[in-house]
Structure formats: structure tokens, C-alpha cells
Structure 1
């Protein structure tokens, strides 16, 4: 692509990634500008670009987070009227480790030491999803069917696109890739779980124009698109069926799933495969089953061929993470399993061999002690008076994240944030050398994937942002 010397700075910025050559005059006068801009973009590689981290190794950090959580809390934030006056969801980190937080009432930016830099309010539109940052902007969707882009530096609204249809109150992920914003929309009946998002929407990241709409065979829940390369993306619907589409919205393949079922879980990428989850029983049956209702974890290659599947002993109600973990060679699938909102039910985290599905280790988490998840009953009145939904009612676990040293970070519905590692490889995660925790006194939403920077961990419970520094 050739850029004329009269190109504006804005045009240069938009085109810089596609530049292959310049005319001689631009080589002399504009080349330095392009080179400086490209170098600046490389220097600004974000530490945790979306609610599930960075392309292509989603949910796996290039840095370590602090293991001893109880000793490394640096700062926290909750609504100034009190912790229950909003619901907090996903976190992302830029190249300076500034923290961006999505909450029911809007978006906020904090510096690495906890100073509030800006806030953008959205009520009566409620944010439910984790945001994403991309080329100087932050993107989020809301329950009134709006998708917006803000300046990362100032919080100023850059554009707002009204999809003319609501976006559901589940906890998904707004994602951006190669200039395209992805969101779920079309909240309506029917589905195995009542109202749900029936459509996937793609928007132009520069101006918010709708590019295309795709309707999968079953609605999506906690929508999580992931990108195996620069040209395609994958996601699963609520039944566990996996789809691979081009960035132009063309279906390449779909596979798996169990019709009539519902899961709070999502897909994961890694090891050259797509991993999907589903529950084995319909939602109405799940309501009357014990905490041991089984599910399925399935692994597909990038052509949609099933490579293996295993039965999980509890419902797989969140997205896995695929990465290298301590004490084990190769890659592992980290899967939280739990029947949430069930008093007395135990939640576990299981690790499987990413190539075979063989069980590697198990962490037995706490039981849900109250009739609702931690912090939900206590905050109903304050949330209602503040105009947000009265309860979080999240997944049993947050989405897990893996640091570069193989530590797994994941939050539990009963309040603890855990750092986990099977350092001795004995298949059990126990003891002070392998388990660290911090009591957040509230559950964690499914979109609350811990964001990992350089010796820093940022994660939101359902009411408070916590930042740990090593």
C-alpha cells in the first residue's frame, strides 16, 4: 500500500499496520513519522488487553502475579457511597499498568497506585460485560443495546452505536480484533434458559458502524469470542456448540453441543485447539439435581474435528484457561466446575492434560455457606436504590487466568480469591506453598478474569476492585 505524502496524521495512523512501501518523497519526509508511530505502538503493548487477556495466548500472561495474596494487597476501590451501590465486573491493563474497570454504572480508569483518573457513567444503561482496549480506545456494551468507544486517555466518548435491540444481563466479554468489535445482542425468548442473546454483532472499531450480524443455532450466554489467527474467530453457544467464522461473518464450521442444555461456561483457545463446555442435563433438570450434575469438556482442532471429550463430575459453568502450569509438562486445561447458588455445594478447579483430557490435579474449593453467594443478600437494598440489578448471581468461579510462572488465579463465589499451583506435581493442590487466598467477602462474576501485569494482579469481585502488587 502506498501513502501519499499529503496524508494526514490520522490517515497515517489508520494505515500504518498495512504499509508496505512509500514513494521517495514520503521516505524522506514521512517515513520518520511512520517509524516513530510504529515504535510507539510496539512500546504500548497492553499488559491485559481484554477481559481474557491478549491475542493469541488468551488467559495466559507474559508476566507473573503476586502469589501471596493476603500479604500483597496494594489498594482497592468500591463505589464512594458504599461497596454495594454498583456491581463491578471486568478489568484490563494498559502498557503503564493503568487499570480499567467495567461496572454496572459505567467505566473507570485508575493509575497503577489507585488514583481515579476518569469515570464515564452509563445509567440507566447497565454495563454487564468485561471491556477491551485497542489502539487508544476502550470498548463496552450495555443492556439497552448500546456499544461505545471511549478515549483511554480522557474517558471522552468517541462514538456510540445503538443496535436497536437489548443486550442481555449475562456476564460476557466485549472483544476487539483487527479493527472489529464483537458483541452479543438480541436478548429475547426462547432459549433453554429463558431470555438470551440470539445474535452476534460485529462493528467497525473506528466509527461503530454495524458490519454484519450472525445468528447461531442456539443463543449465546456469557458471549466470549476468541481469535486463533488474524482472520477468524471462535465462540460457543449455550449448548456447547462451537463455531468458527471469518472476521467478515462467514461460517467456516460448527461442531458439538447438546441441544436443549445451558451452561454459564464459554470456549477457550490453546494448543492449536478449541475447548468447549456443556452441561449434560437441561436447565429444568439441573435445578433439581445435586451439585454432582455432570457436564462435558470437549476439544476440537481448528478444523472442527473432535479430538477428545471427558465427563466432568460437576457443572462446567465457566470458560477454561489453557497454559503451562507448575509441576506439569506441556499444556493443561484449567476448568472451574461448580453448581452455583446452591447452599452447601462444593466448587472445584480441575486441571486436564490439554492433549488427552487426562486429569492432572484437583483443587477442592469452599462450600457455599449462605442461601445466596457471598455479598448478594447483603447488598440488595443499596443496589436497588442505586438503579442497578439487586444481585450479582454470578458463576461459581470467576474465569481463571494463568501467570507466566504457571500459577492459576481464580475467584470463588464464597469470597476467596485464590492463587493455585501443584508445585510438586502430586495431583493435589494443598498447603501454604500451593494455595494462597484473599477474602474479598463477595462472589466474582464470570467476566471477572484476573488481569495480570508485571508483578501485579487486578481483579474485581461483584462489588470491589482489588489490586495486588508483588
Structure 2
């Protein structure tokens, strides 16, 4: 079962400030481009998607190749599958390039444009799923297999795969769709009509988890950081199992897995209203079986008008034909490692490692919270990637951390 952002077999370093192995930023300047997501292959190579293109690095941070996509912009996290890397861009193009060389395998223009949200290009059983006109493509040659129009638009699109025959996603109101890989709708459930969320769905523990805001964004009931949302759990037939109200807007896809200090499966959900000066940002852990709250981590508040690194480099990015600002989610999507540590990036630039070792319901103190300040906000798709005792995360700059080396390498200080 695809649990989206849990990595149950992989363990990353907890003491992030003592474990930086390498970092990269655009040679024209730290904030010359915007970074969106990472993926790690079986040889520990890291693939980084950025507004201006796709790059591959070896495990020591050496850049191996680069694919430039300008004048379009890359806006999503990459997927790797059977020797190729898959991405989509704002010009409506979906592409596959060789993992080995970066040379193009195919390019298909699926629509006039793909929105400048940040989602995930996903591949399953030879089918590529991309937002835009919500199209499914053949992974071998890019041929359009089918198109589907949901009841309302998708946002930060993420396709999930419970088995070999079906896929699941949610639209921007939190409604869940389960479809066959051939494009047939099997069921729809949940959601809040008229609302919008940056959040997404996740799979795990035999259930589908969806999030939505409880009030329309421009309604009089919407009060910013303290506007409640809803976390819902459905069984695989679309029947509601449980539902809880969140105190702040749920703004990313949850992660499902075992977390340190707690039995059975937990669900990790970031909560925050981004772009709101002074707004608080929390991470909640829920019992995946019942929705009961297990622990809370209180993250930093947005301290200025913009999130970390977003105002820097605006002129350079405009001159280069890139989107000028990220305006990211309050948190990246989270990752749960094999030892139960939660890795998640915050809008103010910190990458956190979190664990509730004593099970007291709050994550606090040096043995439960570790962080590294990247000085750049994390987008919603900047899910920390884990493999071989290494965590790779894309903020304003790309980083790789490893337990195997502890000398600091921080070229921008």
C-alpha cells in the first residue's frame, strides 16, 4: 500500500545541525531559483526539481546533469520509475528523461497550461498521472491514455495507489475520488463544498485520509490562522470511519506510520495558514485507528510579511523568467522514518526532526526536537526524502544530511 510520505525502512539523522553532508544552490545565487522536491534512487543519487529545471546529484553532492525547462517553469516534485524521471511544467508539458543521462525519453504537451500550484507527478503500473487537464499518460512513450474532469479543480495534485488496478486523489475541497487506472470513477466521498485547501490525501492503515477547510477562504467565518479544518478517514469503499476537527487549517498531505513513543499507527498532519504574519504553525499526531490526538509540536510563527527567503532574489527570478515568489505552504509534507522520527520543513526555513520519546503528548526539548535552519521556506511538495541513513530536502537551497559524516559543510555562511 502506498503510504505517500512514510518511509518505514529508512532512518535519517536526528541531530540535523551536526549531520550536514552537502548543500547546493544555484550558481547565480542562493535564491536565483525556487526548489520544489527531491527523490533518491537505489544508488543514493538525489534528483531535485526546481523552477528552472531538473538536476541530478550523486550521494556526495556532485551535480551529474541538468535539464533546463525554461521558458516554462517546473512546479512539482519528480517521480522515478523504471530508469526514467518524470515531471510536468507550467506550459502544460509532461516529460520523461533518462535517470542515467538526463536526456529526453519523451515529451507530451497535455494542455495549454498547468497551474502554478505545487503537486506531484506520479507513476504506477506504467501510467503517469499529472494535473492540468487531469490526464493519464503511457509511461513508455507519453501517449495520452485518458482525461478526467473532477467536480471541482484539483490543487497540489497527488495520485495514490492502493493496489495495481486503482488510484486515489482528492480535489481542493477535500473530496476523495477512487478511479481505475483506465479512468473509470469507482466512488467519490467527503469534501466541503465551496472550500479550498492546500492539503492532500494519504493512504495507510487500510484507510484513505483526506483534509479540508471548514469555511470558504473569503467568507466572514474565515479568520485566518485559527480557522478550523477537518481530517477524515474513509475505508477503501469510501465509507467514513472517523472524523476530527483541526484547530487550524490542514495545509498538506498527512503521513502515516509508527512514531517514536507510541504504539500502533499514527497520522502526522501539519497545520498552518501560510502567508499570514504572526500565524502559528503546529504539527499534530493522531491515532490512525480512531483519530485521537497523540502529540502536538508548536512550530515557529511567521515573523514578517513573507516566508523565509521568499522576498530575496525576486528581481533575479523575474529577469530569468521564473515565478518571482514561492508563497509556500506553512509546512512541507512530512516523512516518518523507520525509527519513528518525523521529518518536516517549516515556512520559516527550519527542517525539523521530531519525536515524542516520553509519550507525554508534546514534542519539546533537545532530545525530542532537532532542527537545521536553511534560511529558505519549504514548498508543499518539498517532502524530505529518506534512503540509506540520508535525508534530502529542498528548501531555498538543496541539502543532503547523513549519519555517516558529521563535519559541517555550509558554503553560504
On whether the aligned pair clears a TM of 0.5, the verdict is yes
Structure 1 residue 448: Cα displacement: 0.4
Distance 1:341 1:445 in 2: 12
Return the index of the structure with the highest Cα Rg.
1
Mapped partners of 1:63, 1:279: distance in 2: 32
After superposition, where does 1:328-339 map in structure 2 within 5 Å?
A: 328-339=262-273
Q: Does 1:218 pair with 2:164?
A: no
Unpaired stretches in structure 2, ≥5 consecutive residues: 404-413
Cα deviation for residue 299 of structure 1 reads: 0.2
1:51-66 alignment runs, 5 A limit: 56-61=2-7, 62-66=9-13
In 2, Cα distance between the equivalents of 1:288 and 1:89? 28
- Could you tell me the TM-score, scaled by structure 1's length? 0.84
Tell me the CA shift for residue 389 of structure 1.
0.8
Pairwise CA distance, 1:226: 0.5
Q: Which residue of 2 aligns with 1:48?
A: none
Segments of 5+ residues of structure 1 without an aligned counterpart are 1-54, 186-198
Matched positions, count: 402
Out of 284, 287, 291, the residue aligned to residue 225 of structure 2 is: 291
Q: Which has the higher contact order (CA 8 A, sep 6+)?
A: 2
Contact 2:216 2:222 in 1 (8 A): no
1:373-388 to structure 2, matched below 5 A, reads 373-388=307-322
Task: Report the Cα distance in structure 2 between the residues aligned to 1:348 and 1:417, rounded to whole angstroms.
Answer: 14
Whole-angstrom CA distance in 1 between matches of 2:37 and 2:147: 25
Deviates more, 1:375-384 or 1:387-396: 375-384
The aligned residue for residue 195 of structure 1 is none
Per the alignment, do residues 286 and 444 of structure 1 end up closer, same or farther by CA in structure 2, a change over 3 Å counting? farther
Residue 113 of structure 2 is aligned to residue 155 of structure 1:
no
Equivalent positions of 1:2-401 (< 5 A) are: 56-61=2-7, 62-185=9-132, 199-285=133-219, 289-401=223-335
C-alpha contact 2:260 2:341 (8 A) present in aligned 1:
yes
Q: Please list the CA deviations of residues 24-51 of structure 1 after superposition, one character each: whole Å capped at 9, or x if unmatched.
A: xxxxxxxxxxxxxxxxxxxxxxxxxxxx
Deviation for aligned residue 1:286: 7.6
Q: How well do the aligned residues superpose, as a CA RMSD in angstroms?
A: 1.0
379, 397, 406: which one aligns with 1:464:
397
After TM superposition, the score normalised by the length of structure 2 is 0.96
1:380-438 Cα deviation digits (max 9, x unpaired): 11211121011010100000001000000000001111000001111010001100000
Q: 1:452: Cα distance to partner?
A: 0.3
Structure 1 segments, 4+ long, off by >2 Å, are 55-58, 285-288
SS of 1:367's equivalent? coil
Listed one character per residue, the Cα deviations across residues 177-235 of structure 1 (whole Å, up to 9, x for unaligned) are 000000001xxxxxxxxxxxxx3210000000000001111100000010011111100
Using the alignment, how far apart are the partners of 1:164 and 1:393 within structure 2?
24
- Please report how far the alpha carbon of residue 290 of structure 1 lies from its aligned counterpart in structure 2 after TM superposition: 3.5
Cα deviations by residue, 1:58-78 (Å, 9 ceiling, x for unpaired) = 212111001100000111101
